[in-house]
Amino acid sequence: MGAHSARSARTHGSTAPAEARDLREVAHAAQVRELTAAGVLEDPAWRAAFSAVPRHVFVPYFFTGRGAGHERLWGEDPDPAQRARWLRGVYADTPLATRLRDGLLVSSSSQPSLMAKMLHALDVREGDSVLEIGTGTGYNAALLCHRLGDDRVTTVDLDEEITESAREHLARLGYRPTVVTGDGARGCPSRAPFDRILVTCTLPLIPHAWLGQCRPGARILAPLSTGLIALTVRDAAFAEGRFLHTPAYFVPLRGATAAPAELSGAAHELPYEMVENERFQFMLLLTAGTLHPREALDLWRGEGRPARERFGVTVSAEGQWSWLDDPQGPYVWPLGEPQPS
């Protein structure tokens, strides 16, 4: 890990004036303290990674607002007040829109506390090889590199502009993981097998290709519906696991998987408080296309308003399905199959 110590001494790869560097370092240190106080950096190894990797290097600018009203905040803005807004935003515990196309969000920097929770849940061990699906800014890949070493990290994104930008951000801090431009749904067979797959974009289902690129016992952590599914891979044809309690909202995966399910128009029949209930929305999306919204509501109430942890997913050669409490129990719903790209 000697290289990591050297990286930490590079003043975060910045050529900014000393005063600006000081402000960024102070903001970075404050973020690490806040995440530690929030209980999401209990693992000393991840706390060291977040301390060594500054977010501002990976978010030189971001967008605020919606629709035609987007405003770009930039770390090199000539207006000191605007630079201060940028810095506050970068080190706030919020997701940041980093790339728009035709007014639509195509890439973002995830909420740091959620990143920390996901990295902890990934349960990596020394020597593990990790595939990240959804490179984004490269911030997450840098944290993985700090923990595991560059040669153990592969990250994939569909958009060449995104991967090229991430490479530049990573190189500023001396990190050089394998950054691949390609369809994340197809994984990265040339770098397999993997011990862990970490997904930072929402899926409608799990691409079967990933299982064949995993070692037996590997862990896949991925956003599905509005939750995080943690799957244990048995072999190239089977994986199974439960959702974590943590809510998760990410940009959808683009590529060879089917479009994610949407809530049925019949949802307007539901009581307003249920439509607004975040845990019920999770179940409604997870069972969309199988259960009528009213059926989903009756089941959810009848089963004691189950939280995410009671739901799980099975992936097999025969298909994919979600379930409540028991994969062999009475409440099982098909997730569907990938569609050709």
For 85, the enclosing helix (H) or strand (E) is: helix 80-90
- Which member of 107, 108, 113, 129 is catalytic? 107
Q: Is the peptide bond before 193 cis (omega within 30 degrees of 0)?
A: yes
The sheet carrying 227-235 orders its strands as 178-181, 153-157, 130-133, 194-199, 214-224, 227-235, 238-243, 311-316, 319-324, 332-334
SS3 state of residue 143: helix
Q: How many CA atoms lie within 13 A of 76 on its CB side?
A: 6
List of residues 6+ apart from 4 with CB closer than 8 A: 52, 146
- Tell me if residue 14 is catalytic: no
Residue at token pair 């502009």: 161
Catalytic residue annotation:
107
